[in-house]
Amino acid sequence: MTAADDARPTYPTDRRGTPIYPRDTYSPWWRRGCASIIDNALTLIIYVPVWIGHALHVGQPWSTAMYSILLVADVAFWVWNSLIRQGRSGSSLGKQWCDIQIVDTDTGQPIGAIGCLYRTLVHFVDNIALGLGWLWPLWGRRRRTFADMIARTIAVPAHDTTVVAAYR
SS3 label, residue 154: strand
More confident residue, 22 or 10: 22
pLDDT in tens, 29-64: 999 999 999 999 998 888 787 778 777 877 777 777
Instruction: Using a pLDDT cut of 90, give the percent of the chain over it.
Output: 51
pLDDT in tens, 142-154: 899 999 999 999 9
168 pLDDT band, cuts 50/70/90, is very low
pLDDT for 67: 80
- pLDDT at residue 88 greater than cutoff 80: yes
Whether the Cβ atoms of residue 13 and residue 20 lie closer than 8 Å to each other: yes
Sign of the alpha-carbon dihedral angle for 89, 153, 30, 12:
negative
* pLDDT, the chain, mean: 84
CA nearest 78: which of 121, 102, 120, 43?
Answer: 43
- The Cα–Cα gap between 91 and 101 comes to 5
- pLDDT at residue 2 greater than cutoff 80: no
Whether the Cβ atoms of residue 23 and residue 143 lie closer than 8 Å to each other: yes
pLDDT for 23: 72
Residue type, 74: D
